Amino acid sequence: MTADSRRDSSTRERILMLLKTSGRMNAGDLSSELALTEMAIRRHMYALESEGSVNIVAVRQAMGRPLHAYELTAEADELFPKNYHVLALDLLDELAEDPDTAALIDRMFEGRKKKLLDRYEPRMAGKSLEQKVSELAVIQNAGGYMAEVETRSDGSFMLYEYNCPIAQVAGKYQQACRCELSLFKSLLDVPVERTECLAKGGGKCSYHIG
């Protein structure tokens, strides 16, 4: 990355943070906060708009032409830190510590698996195994798993997941990994073996299919 690219990236991060903390702002507001010209601000905003992080909106005034202002899109919310796993772990720990509710954890993960199976099973109907594996990779990528498929010479497949959005939860509650493996077996309707697991210290999650 060049010095100019790093500078642009840093400026856009500051713009996003300002919009997050201050809400809707116009070019003049941002220019004052960042000590940049309004022309420079507009250049950055068009780039952020093309990325889907910012909306350009027209704000009506009592007199004169509408003023253009900028606000974050719903998608931009994903650019900011999240601690969902902390909440999930706290809730699961609360259940696990009480003998009367500990058994609910297994039921919760099984219930989640069933919901996912009901959601995705129709997408597998009428497909060959190769098509099913490709569709599974699409499903997992949409969930942030950074999945890719490798076809083996013996006709089997390897599915690799380089990211696990629920790694913190899965590292403590193995039900998450067991239910994912069971889900894959049900969706693909062939034997599936997990040979590597991120939650157990692996470099990725690897599944041998077929």
Q: What is the pLDDT of residues 98-125, one digit of tens each?
A: 888 888 999 999 999 999 999 999 999 9
Q: Where are the domains of the chain?
A: 3-79, 84-209
Mean pLDDT of 1-15: 78
Where residue 58 falls among pLDDT bands split at 50, 70, 90? confident
What are the backbone angles phi and psi of residue 141, rounded to the nearest 5°? -65, -40
Half-sphere exposure of 185 (CA within 13 A, CB side): 10
Q: Using alpha carbons only, what angle is made at residue 185 by residues 90 and 121, rounded to the nearest 5 degrees?
A: 85
What pLDDT score does 199 carry? 86
Rounded distance, CA 137 to CA 47, Å?
A: 30
What pLDDT score does 59 carry? 79
Predicted TM-score (pTM) of this structure: 0.64
What pLDDT score does 1 carry? 57
Where residue 206 falls among pLDDT bands split at 50, 70, 90? very high
What are the backbone angles phi and psi of residue 55, rounded to the nearest 5°? -105, 140
What are the backbone angles phi and psi of residue 82, rounded to the nearest 5°? -130, 145
Q: Is the pLDDT of residue 167 over 90?
A: no
* Helix intervals (H) in the chain: 3-22, 27-34, 38-50, 84-96, 103-120, 129-142, 167-172, 175-188
| CATH level 2 (architecture), domain 84-209 | 2-Layer Sandwich (3.30)
Rounded distance, CA 196 to CA 49, Å?
A: 39
Where residue 60 falls among pLDDT bands split at 50, 70, 90? confident
Q: What is the pLDDT of residues 26-54, one digit of tens each?
A: 999 999 999 999 999 999 999 999 999 99
Please state, as a whole number, how many other Cβ atoms lie within 10 Å of the Cβ of residue 92: 20
Share of the chain above pLDDT 90, in %: 58
> Which CATH topology does 3-79 take?
Arc Repressor Mutant, subunit A (1.10.10)
Q: What is the pLDDT of residues 174-187, one digit of tens each?
A: 899 999 999 999 99
Q: Whose CA is closest to 44, among 10, 19, 8?
A: 8
